[in-house]
Amino acid sequence: MDDLRKFARYFLPYKISLITGILCILASVVFNLAIPLFVGQAVDENWTEVSWSKLTVSALKVLGASVASGTFLFLQRHILIGMSRHVEYDLRRDFYAHLVDQPLSFFQEHRTGDLMARASNDLAAVRQLAGPMIMYTLQTIFVVLLVLPLMLMINWWLTLLLFVTMPLVSLTVKFFGQQVHVRFEKIQDFFAQITARAQENFTGVRVVRAYAQEGAEIEAFNELNRKFAEKNFSLVRIDALMRPLMQFLIGFGFVLIIWAGVPLAVRGEITVGQFTVFNMYLMRLIWPLIALGYVVNLYQRGTASLKRMNAIWAIDPAIGDAPGVQQQKPIAGEIEFRNLTFSYRLNDEPVLRDINLRIPAGESVAFVGRTGSGKSTLVNLIPRLIEAPENAVFIDSVPVQDYSLAQLRSSIGYVPQETFLFSDSLADNIAFGVEKAERAEVEWVAEMAGLADDIKSFPDGFDTLVGERGITLSGGQKQRTAIARAVLREPKILILDDALSSVDTYTEEKILRRLRGLMRDRTSLIVSHRISTVRDADRICVLDEGRIVEQGTHHELLALGGEYADLYERQLLEEELAAT
Amino acid sequence: MTRLTNDVDSLNELFTQGVTDVLGDVVMIVAIIGVMLWMDVRLTLVTLLTVPMLFAATTWFRKGARRGYDMVRTRIARINAFLQEHFAGAQTVQIFNAEAKSLQKFEAINDDYRKANIDTIFFYAVFFPLVDFIGAVGIALVIWYGGYRVMNGALTLGALVAFIQYSGFLFQPIRDISDKYNVLQAAVVASHRIFKTLDLPVAIKNLETPLKSGRARGYIEFQNVWFAYKDDDWVLKDVSFAVSPGQSVALVGHTGSGKTTITNLLMRFYDIHSGHILLDGVDLRDWDLQSLRENFAVVLQDIFLFSGTVESNIRLGRNDISDERVTWAAKEVHANKFIERLNHGYRTEVKERGAGLSVGQKQLISFARALAFDPALLILDEATSSIDTETEQLIQQAIERVMRDRTSIVVAHRLSTVQRADRIIVLHHGEIREQGNHQQLLAERGLYWMLYKLQYADGARSQAVTTLPTDEEEPAPATGGLQFSE
């Protein structure tokens, strides 16, 4: 119920539409129910003596009522279904706005597929709640409420007979409709599986062929296909049961009217016209009764979906601005870690232990260490991609949590391990993090990142689309795009989180040389497992199991003869091996 | 892809809700019209005047609704693509403070979708009242003209009342049929397309009675092979070489020199234009295709894992490979350590295209796959992306292990692999320019020496190189320069 109350707020901006729409339903129902009355009147008026003029008037009345009812029916759909689309728009926008503020941990917990399901299937179900359900419910209520007294006025016995039997139609639809829906969903899911399987085989065709596994794949596909057919049969069987049953129940209604009504008409208790009216009302009741069963299902599905969406809505972004956060002085770039011990979950083994490190503004510091040594986690704490404990990470002696996210992050250029490019032009991808960028600036940073030559060779230069609808960039090109993107923001702090791993050493050196000039008075942090990337840093920190075990320049660390020297030896050895 | 799914779907729709219903409807219509005709021919004809109107209205609606539906579909697809991308890239959006900017973009495509939907409502909003109206016209006609007939004494009033009822009953089945007619049409078009696909000839065919099958010894010979993917755009020009069983050959050359093509031809993904390719002295075209390909194992640079378990990816559908053999193969290439650390070990589910596994791990799995198949010949298209030092060592060991005792053709990127090869073939513009081992070729001071100087020597000057300087593996537009990748 709480879910629904929250949902009701979405109708507030559209309350005028809602009210107008409801009035249209009422008007349409009234005119539509007038038609049988006019027909009945025509029959009775002309029963003893036929009058051409009276007939013409009746025919025109029927047409007139129909035009009026149709017009309101048009308006009703247009207004109410249209409103549901507006509500859907608002819901979807808010859903996205809510999710885009969520931290990394949220997306690790909720799989993209699950979130997508909520944004598409659940949202669609909720939309049905907002539009069709309201419309059909009110339509049914109005029809029943208006028809009931009209029918009672003609004959209470006939009316009673119908209202005892006809709700069975609604029950049939409700029961079987749910079954149909469940089976249909299963079929859809399964169909997605089949499509995925086929797609996989098309994409991986070289592997399948190369291993001569066509036979096995075809067999597996046939198996899927057989199951798909079975599931379809189960749907058809239910459907084949539901339709005749409905037909039967409706037919039964007409039989009842004839069985009970004809004697009444013969005895003169009702007129032939009234008998006709009754018949026509029954016809007009059929759809609302079917709709009623359908609506109950819509309601159940819609509220279940609403609950699922609200569950996401209830999660406040774990990383956000502290209440009353204030704009701090512009960031100069000094970073300090004070007694930092960090673990992802409360009782987990710490990933970082007793880190104490001060990096003056303008220094370049590199972090090396094995996979899992904590170097990525350490740099992720600075832009608050991961939340550090309080009073452990400082920028310009201010705890990171005391900055607004906007101020903090706009001072940082961050190049992650896995580059994420959007399906957009290259220029837009590079200018992703800035309000507006001149083409000249974009070209300049592309040059800095060693990307300019690649871009020249693309069909549309900087306007070339990348991603799904465009070309696929190589790993190295992606990483260089990410570097250009970060540099364009002119950050005070530049963080390269293993950002050159797919770039060859030769290009890497060129990029680093250019960046060094650019970053002279800025702080830069470089995470890498390659000596070549880190050797020229002002300071190199070696991490092992969450601790800084060595610190110093390349030469100092070599002289120390510890972990770093070891790593260097190993990489040197490989090189020598390669050269002989 | 659309042909496979959508068209089959249209046919399916026809069978599940088409035929049976249409039959029922036809019976209903024939019965009602029969009774009506028996009662009054002229009034029946007047009543049926509404049928063409109904047909026209339904056709108009179907067309409009379909067009609208297509539009709605493409736009919801855009929304889904956007969401998928931005959920996956949420971290990037945040780190660049692009939340507001992305929301603006999303609002635009969300609005497009809303517009498409509202446009579609129009068709529905007109159609349903229109059908009701046509129904009312029918009733009005019956009253009006029927009344006239009653007045003339050609019809009893009771019959008129019955007519009013019948015209109501007639309506539903006719509406159904005009609806189904469109489904039928779509199904006809779809089945036409499906059968066209089924009738396409398969380009690479087996001989009726293949001359050779079974396990190969691994002797490969190319004799004056010419090949082009299209027209006269020769990719291989007069290529000849031989590889003895157990030997390993590294193919090197820059982008577009024809290295990968050679491996494709060996497995007969394409047929050559002139010359011969022989395996164990038998022309590939005389080999049983299935058996020919079973002789090869391939490790491609773009590792492709299928959804399923780690185990099923090693086995790749060959159920005669025992569990022991799977674990043995994994152990041989040192993949067992990380596999056993996974949540469910060998039974761990591999997600979409191997998400969750590192590049190096995926490579190790594909080596295990190759080893488990124990082929007579190995084709290795080396990956170029760099991995951390320890995994890199594992991979080099794995390569060595997999190549042992079998004929191997390697499109090489790693210096270590090139050097280990028994022979290096240097390709340039589809021709073989140099052949020999590492030392011989360096001594020749030719193309190989140049490639080596440009690539390895420069990069290896002062720092450790674990990979070769090539990162343009995928689109590879003419960036110029010599590369060891394709």
- Residues of chain A with C-beta less than 8 angstroms from the C-beta of B76: 120
CA-based nearest residue in chain B for residue A485: B96
Distance of CA A21 to the CA centre of its chain: 29
Spatial strand order of the sheet with A547-552 comes to: A412-415, A493-497, A523-527, A364-369, A539-544, A547-552
Comparing CB atoms, the residue among A103, A207, A405 nearest residue B300 is A207
CA-based nearest residue in chain A for residue B90: A100
Residue A391 lies in a domain: yes
Residue B468: the pLDDT is 33
- Residues of chain B with C-beta less than 8 angstroms from the C-beta of A96: 83, 86, 103, 106, 110
Comparing CB atoms, the residue among B129, B140, B478 nearest residue A73 is B129
Comparing CB atoms, the residue among B106, B133, B415 nearest residue A96 is B106
Residue A495: enclosing H or E segment and its boundaries?
strand A493-497
CB A484 within 8 A of CB A445: yes
- The C-alpha angle with vertex B114 and arms to B110 and B115, in degrees rounded to 5, equals 120
Indicate the DSSP class of residue B423.
Answer: E
Burial class (CB in 10 A: 0-12, 13-18, 19+), B203: exposed
Output the CA torsion sign for B440, B444, B450, B454. positive
Residues A98 and A161 occupy one common structural domain: no
CA-based nearest residue in chain B for residue A490: B96
Q: Do A82 and B94 touch (CB under 8 A)?
A: no
Residues A475 and A487 occupy one common structural domain: yes
- Residues of chain B with C-beta less than 8 angstroms from the C-beta of A212: 290-291, 293-294
- Residues of chain A with C-beta less than 8 angstroms from the C-beta of B80: 116, 119-120
Residue A65: the pLDDT is 93
Indicate the DSSP class of residue A371.
Answer: T
- Calculate how close chain A gets to B415, using CA atoms only, in Å: 6
- Residues of chain A with C-beta less than 8 angstroms from the C-beta of B102: 100
Residue B74 identity (one-letter amino acid): T
Residues A26 and A166 occupy one common structural domain: no
Residue A145 lies in a domain: yes
Residue A186: the pLDDT is 81
Write out pLDDT tens, residues B21-30: 677 778 888 8
ipTM of the complex: 0.80
- Residues of chain B with C-beta less than 8 angstroms from the C-beta of A102: 90
Residues A19 and A147 occupy one common structural domain: yes
- Calculate how close chain A gets to B237, using CA atoms only, in Å: 24
Residues A104 and A79 occupy one common structural domain: yes
- Calculate how close chain B gets to A247, using CA atoms only, in Å: 12
Q: Do A198 and B81 touch (CB under 8 A)?
A: no
Domain ranges, residue A224: 156-269
Write out pLDDT tens, residues B270-299: 888 889 999 998 998 888 888 888 888 888
Residues A362 and A413 occupy one common structural domain: yes
Count contacts between A and B (CB, < 8 Å): 332
Of chain B, the end-to-end C-alpha distance in Å amounts to 27
CATH code for position A378: 3.40.50.300
- Residues of chain A with C-beta less than 8 angstroms from the C-beta of B125: 73-75, 77-78, 81
CA-based nearest residue in chain A for residue B290: A212
Q: Do A473 and B469 touch (CB under 8 A)?
A: no
Residues A442 and A517 occupy one common structural domain: yes
Residues A70 and A15 occupy one common structural domain: yes
- The C-alpha angle with vertex A22 and arms to B111 and B172, in degrees rounded to 5, equals 90
Residue B481: the pLDDT is 30
Q: Do A47 and B294 touch (CB under 8 A)?
A: no
Residue A475 lies in a domain: yes
- Count of the separate structural domains present in chain A: 3
CA-based nearest residue in chain B for residue A194: B5
Q: Do A535 and B473 touch (CB under 8 A)?
A: no
Residue A413 lies in a domain: yes
Residue A320 lies in a domain: no
Q: Do B317 and A217 touch (CB under 8 A)?
A: yes
- Residues of chain B with C-beta less than 8 angstroms from the C-beta of A371: 388
Residue A321 lies in a domain: no
Cα separations in angstroms, B468 against A169, B153, B360, B423, B472: 73, 102, 16, 19, 11
What global pTM score does this model have?
0.68
- Calculate how close chain B gets to A156, using CA atoms only, in Å: 22
CB A143 within 8 A of CB A288: yes
Interface with A, mutate which of B19, B74, B94, B265 (most A CBs under 10 A) = B94
CB B237 within 8 A of CB B468: no
Residue A5 lies in a domain: yes
Closest CA to A272 of A32, A549, A3, A48: A48
CA-based nearest residue in chain A for residue B266: A210
End position of a domain, from candidates A269, A291, A323: A269
Residue A540 identity (one-letter amino acid): I
Q: Do B388 and A454 touch (CB under 8 A)?
A: no
Comparing CB atoms, the residue among B91, B132, B479 nearest residue A73 is B132
Q: Do A85 and B118 touch (CB under 8 A)?
A: yes
Interface with B, mutate which of A29, A30, A55 (most B CBs under 10 A) = A55
Residue A33: the pLDDT is 92
Residue whose pair of structure tokens reads 């075209």 in the numeric block: B285
Q: Do B110 and A198 touch (CB under 8 A)?
A: no
Q: Beta-carbon neighbour count of residue A335 at 10 Å?
A: 24
CATH code for position A148: 1.20.1560.10
Interface with A, mutate which of B96, B265, B365 (most A CBs under 10 A) = B96
End position of a domain, from candidates A251, A269, A287: A269
Residues A77 and A180 occupy one common structural domain: no
Write out pLDDT tens, residues B327-368: 998 888 888 888 887 778 888 877 655 556 777 788 888 888
CA-based nearest residue in chain B for residue A92: B110
Residue A511: the pLDDT is 82
Write out pLDDT tens, residues B97-133: 888 888 998 999 999 999 999 988 888 889 888 888 8
Positions in chain A whose pLDDT score sits under 70: 1, 192, 196, 199-212, 467-470, 574-580
- Residues of chain A with C-beta less than 8 angstroms from the C-beta of B290: 212, 215
Residues A75 and A147 occupy one common structural domain: yes
End position of a domain, from candidates A119, A154, A189: A154
**Domains recognised in chain B with CATH numbers:** 2-199 (1.20.1560.10), 220-459 (3.40.50.300)
- Residues of chain B with C-beta less than 8 angstroms from the C-beta of A119: 80, 83
Residues A164 and A188 occupy one common structural domain: yes
DSSP B89-106: THHHHHHTT-HHHHHHHH
Residue B199: the pLDDT is 67
CB B421 within 8 A of CB B437: yes
Comparing CB atoms, the residue among A74, A196, A235 nearest residue B129 is A74
Q: Do A43 and B118 touch (CB under 8 A)?
A: no
Residues A146 and A185 occupy one common structural domain: no
Residue A282 lies in a domain: no
SS3 A301: helix
Q: Do A578 and B465 touch (CB under 8 A)?
A: yes
Positions in chain B whose pLDDT score sits under 70: 1-21, 178-187, 189-190, 193-194, 196-203, 255-256, 301-304, 351-356, 383-390, 414-415, 453-486
Interface with B, mutate which of A77, A122, A223, A280 (most B CBs under 10 A) = A77
- Residues of chain B with C-beta less than 8 angstroms from the C-beta of A406: 97
Q: Do B125 and A236 touch (CB under 8 A)?
A: no
